[in-house]
Amino acid sequence: MRTPATKLLPAFIAVIALVNQSCKGPAQKKDSKDTAAIEAAIPDSANFNSTVDGKKTHLYLLTNKNGVKAAITNYGGRVVSLLVPDKSGAFKDVVLGYDNVKSYQKKKEPFFGALIGRYGNRIGKGKFTLNGKQYQLDVNDSLNTLHGGFKGFNAQVWDAKQSDNHTLQLSYTSKDGEGGYPGNLNVKVTYTLQDDNSLKIDYSATADQPTVVNLTNHSYFNLNGAGNKTILDDSLKIDADKFTPVDNTLIPTGELKDVKGTPFDFTKFKTIGQDIDKQDEQLKNGKGYDHNFVLNKHTLSTSIATVKSPSTGIVLDVYTEEPGIQFYSGNFLTGKDTDGKGGVAYGHRSALCLETQHFPDSPNKPSFPSTTLNPGQTYHTTTIYKFSVSK
């Protein structure tokens, strides 16, 4: 039912007040009378006020001058909602997630919006050797280790500090032996919602023993709005002439293969669905796209991947200092769960991930860029997800 325009004035005033108020603590509980479209997709922060492993969880709200909003919980450092304008000026929530912290704790939760570590992506057979010593990690993905193990950074409560409306600083100490990884690792991640409608993620870490580190964010994007049934009609471009083929357990073979002449050629825009169901061994292994692309030479000022929605006109550009990006086409989403935000089901290939990273299984592939972090060194990398509207 439409609300008469005269009745929207109080809600509009409430939104302006919310944007202008100090946001140095957890996001305030949303006024149930607020019917403005820009607020519709932000979950009730009260549903994120909980205690996990003896630590408090909250939902934090970032805003910029354009009305873009990012809701982030310190449980797993997860991007819960990200509201950006479409071509008509209406706001769309473009990331998948849940309305409460409890849903993020369920078994086989697909890492919605999470910070991933200590090692993003897979390590073959859950083993690697560093300085002559072999380490056995949690094996949580068939024969392999995925995204840090049984309880990676996605399932930890991070210490949070919100310094202003735009910035959320998260920190976590991963203890020696956690998940099987060596060394105490001190991690800091800063989310900044910038006025150019970009979400900047700065990662840093130090260790007291030699270890391996590969941090990323696992947001699932749908530029048509979270809950839309498909991303296959969206167009994608990736600035990568090569990718890393995988075996049937999704571990890289060690080869760098040319994308030219394969379904993995995204050097020019094409729809995600154009080649996804072709008869191809690599597509069969990944049940679609679930592969690391070897990025061409770039800097943080150069977009290395772009997604465009023909429906909403929303454009996502990805900037990173990392050498690779994992393009995942949501092949393992089933639509069986109906507890997505607003009670929706997230169906097969209803979202995509663009995870900036070093390569999967690098600790076991000497030819890949190194992921070793030694004492006295500082791991630092930045990734930016920037949103605009096609003209």
Residues 363 and 130 sit within 8 Å (Cβ to Cβ): yes
Rg of the chain over all Cα atoms, to the nearest angstrom: 20
> What CA–CA distances, in Å, run from 304 to 218, 296, 351, 361?
17, 8, 19, 22
DSSP string, 67-116: S-EEEEETBTTEEEEEEEE-TTS-EEE-B--BSSTTGGGSTT---TTEEE
| Candidates 166, 291, 355, 358; catalytic one | 355
Q: What is the largest CA-CA distance in the chain?
A: 72
Check if 109 is active-site.
no
Phi, psi of 141 (to 5 degrees): -145, 85
Q: H-type helices in the chain, by residue range?
A: 5-20, 281-286
Euclidean distance between the first and the last CA atom of the chain, given in angstroms as a whole number = 32
Q: Scan for tokens 């977009």, then name that residue.
A: 303
Residues 387 and 315 sit within 8 Å (Cβ to Cβ): yes
Number of other CB atoms surrounding residue 192 within 10 Å: 20
| Candidates 166, 218, 291, 358; catalytic one | 218
The DSSP output letter for 148 is T
With a CB cutoff of 8 Å and minimum separation 6, the contacts of 146 are 121, 122, 140
DSSP string, 32-79: TT---GGGTTSPPGGGG-EEETTEEE-EEEEE-TTS-EEEEETBTTEE
Q: Tokens standing for 96?
A: 């998948």
Q: Give residue 40's identity as a one-letter amino acid code.
A: A
Dihedral sign computed on CA atoms, order 220, 231, 287, 250: negative
> What CA–CA distances, in Å, run from 100 to 14, 75, 343, 382?
24, 11, 11, 28
Q: Tokens standing for 206?
A: 């130090």
Check if 281 is active-site.
no
Residues classed as catalytic: 218, 355
